[in-house]
Structure 1
Amino acid sequence: MADRIVKLLNDLTETSKNGEKGFLAAAEDTKDPELRGLFQNRANDCAAGAAELQAIVSRLGGKPETGGSVAGAVHRGWVNLKAAVTGRSDAAILEECERGEDVAKHDYTNALREPLPEDIRAVVQRQYEGVLRNHDQIRALRDRYRAST
C-alpha cells in the first residue's frame, strides 16, 4: 500500500511542480503588475504544496519526485507558443493558466478516489480545495479580460 501511496503523491508533486513552472512563466509573460503578483503567489503556493507532498513521501520511506512531468513540459511549451502567436495577451495567458488548473483538478480528483490514510487524505483534500479556488479565480479573471478586449 505504501508504494501505491508514494506513487500517487509523487504524481501530485509533478502536478504541483508543473503548476509552479507554468505560473512562473505566466508571471514573466504578463504585462499587468496585478496579474504578475497573482501568478507569483500561485507559483509559491504550488511550490509549497509540492514540498508538503515530498515530505510525506519521505516520511513513508519513498523517494520524492523533484521535477515536473513531460506532459507538463509540453503544456508549458504550448503556453509559450500560444502566447507568442497571440502577442502574449493577458487573456491568452489566463486561458492557458486555466487549462493548467483543469489538469490539476483532474489529477487531484483522481487521487481523492483512491483509498488513502486519513491524514494523507486531509492534505490532498486541502490542496485540491486550493486548486479549485485557483481555477475559479483564474477563470473569473479570464472572463474579465475577455470582456475588456
Structure 2
Amino acid sequence: MLQETTVNQLQYLLKTLRDGQKGFADAAAHATDPALADLLRRRSGQRAEFEEAVRQRIIDLGAQPFEHSTLGAALHRAWLNVRDAVAGRGDYALVSECQRGEDIAVQKYTDVLSEMDMPADLRAFIQHQFAAVKASQQELADLKQKLKAQQ
C-alpha cells in the first residue's frame, strides 16, 4: 500500500511538472522582454529536469509514469490562447499567469509533503524540488510587482 501511495504522489507531481514545463515554454515564446523570455525558458528547463527525475523515481518503483498533462492545465493554456487571439499578452500578464501557475505548483507540493507515511529519502527529494518551486514563486511575485510599478 505504501508503494502505491508513493507512486500516486509522484504521478501527481509529474503532471504538475509537465504542466509547468509547457506553461513556462509557452510564456517564454510570447514574452517581449528578452531577459524575461530567458528566465521563463530556464524555468521550463528546470521543470523538464524535475519531471525527468520524478519519472525515474516512478520507474524505479516499478510503475509506468503518466504521459499526459492535467485537463485543467490544458484548459488553462487553451484559455490563454483564446485571450491572446483577442488581445495582445503583455509581459505583466505573462508573469501574472506564471505566478498563478507557481501558486498551484506550491499547493500541490504542499499536498504531497503533508503525507505522513512518505519514505525519508523521497521526502528529501521532493523537498529539494519544492524549495526551488517556492523560490521561483517568490521571484515571479517580485517581478510582477516591479512590472506593475512600471506600468
Same fold (TM over 0.5): yes
* Aligned-partner Cα distance in 2 for 1:133–1:79: 24
| Unpaired stretches in structure 1, ≥5 consecutive residues | none
How far did 1:72 drift? 1.2
Alpha carbons of 1:135 and 1:75: their partners in 2 closer, same or farther (altered >3 Å)?
same
Q: Secondary structure at the match of 2:110?
A: helix
Alignment of 1:30-69 (within 5 A): 30-69=31-70
Q: Tell me how far 1:85 sits from its aligned partner.
A: 4.2
| Letter matched to residue 117 of structure 1 | P
Which of 110, 128, 131 pairs up with 2:130? 128
In 1, Cα distance between equivalents of 2:49 and 2:70 = 18
- Any conservation in 2 of the 1:21–1:43 contact (CA below 8 Å)? yes
1:81 to partner: Cα distance: 3.3
Of the structure 1 ranges 134-143 and 74-83, higher mean CA displacement relative to structure 2 is found in 74-83
- TM-superposed deviation, 1:71: 1.0
Aligned position for 2:140: 138
Alpha-carbon distance in structure 1 between the residues aligned to 2:85 and 2:135:
28
Match of 2:102?
101
Aligned-CA RMSD value: 1.1
2:26 maps to what in 1? Answer: 25
Q: Give the number of equivalent residue pairs.
A: 149
What is the alpha-carbon distance in structure 2 between the residues aligned to residue 62 and residue 74 of structure 1?
27
Contact 1:83 1:93 in 2 (8 A): no
Structure 2: tracts of 5 or more residues without a match: none
C-alpha displacement of 1:37: 0.3
1:20–1:43 CA contact under 8 A, matched in 2: yes
For 2:144 and 2:114, how far apart are their aligned partners in 1? 30
